[in-house]
Amino acid sequence: MKQKKILIAFGTRPEAVKFAPLIQKLRQTSGFKCFVCLTGQHREMLAQVIRFFKIDVDTDLKLMRANQSLEYVSGRVIIKFGKIIRTVKPDLLFVQGDTATALMVAISSFYSRVPIAHLEAGLRTWDKYRPFPEEINRKLITHLADYHFSPSPIATRNLIHEGVSKLRIYEVGNTVVDAVQLARPLVKKKYTVFKSVNFKNRILFITAHRRESFGQGLREIFNGLKEIVQRHKDIDLVYPVHLNPKVSTLARKILGRVKRVHLMRPLTYEETCWIMNRCYLILTDSGGIQEEAPSFKKPVLVLRDVTERPEGIKAGVAQLVGTNQHKIVSAANQLLNSETAYKRMIAKTNPYGDGKASERIITSLRKILR
């Protein structure tokens, strides 16, 4: 096969994590020339993933600026990425997931008539504003994409429901599971950020930052966490606080002086893997952590009313608890008080994949580009 040029573009940490194993596979496989372009709007969080997975970057759009808006990022991506496409002349462009950047990169590629492949295609909540703006970003990318790499049968059915031809869908699993396997031997034995945590206690790992929860939703979540810690004297709560003032200000107001609550800076990917491996229970509104947690065999309480990742719910390894204080406390208490209930939620296998998604994608690309 004549060497084919694959252009991969991303700008956030989750995108980098999910692309890392695929980039590695492409660069180890003959017949492909892989170009990596950073849009660069989340510079600090992105840089540590690139270092950790040793991703060689070919070009960087350097879009980040203080207090950037979706409108600013969107316009700049379309303008600057078009120049990259004209320089590289790729046979195929890869975007991942549901960010505004992924959508704008796809639009730029469409304008240049370059075929588009969508990694992690078909996730849906069927609610326009939850998650916001990701749900609409995903749907728009679907209509732009030529090839759809679906992570699960549920995602495949969603695509077919929206009129995507079965011949254009490749059900490969989720590369986030590949990334966890890739990361395991690279994670250190200890990290100083956790030095104040008492690991003789059971550790609750928390993430909460979604836009649709701003205000009363986050207030309910934080009050629920406070009540859980006060009810159980044998737990420590680890919460890396998002930098957005709408999250951090309220978190520090409600949880800042609560004993055994550790409000931390945002964690690196490797630190996140480390704490997920050592915690007892995870409460999160993050999509990526919902997918990663089963690989660490940890139950997940999802701090959202809907999720575009229902595979964990269906498998019984995750539970939707929303942003209601009473519901969050009740669900956490059940798992903290009942060993039977806890063991029921430990995953035997990860419902999001088996760690071979990247291999399947390479096989599919050979068929697509031959």
Active site residues: 98, 120, 134, 209, 211, 242
State how far the Cα of 11 lies from the Cα of 189, in Å rounded to an integer: 29
**67: CB partners within 8 A, 6+ apart:** none
State how far the Cα of 205 lies from the Cα of 195, in Å rounded to an integer: 15
CB 117 within 8 A of CB 147: yes
DSSP code for 96: E
State how far the Cα of 277 lies from the Cα of 295, in Å rounded to an integer: 9
**32: CB partners within 8 A, 6+ apart:** 3, 4, 5, 6, 26, 362, 365
Rounded (10°) angle between helices 325-337 and 216-231: 30
State how far the Cα of 43 lies from the Cα of 266, in Å rounded to an integer: 13
Tokens of 92: 């195929």
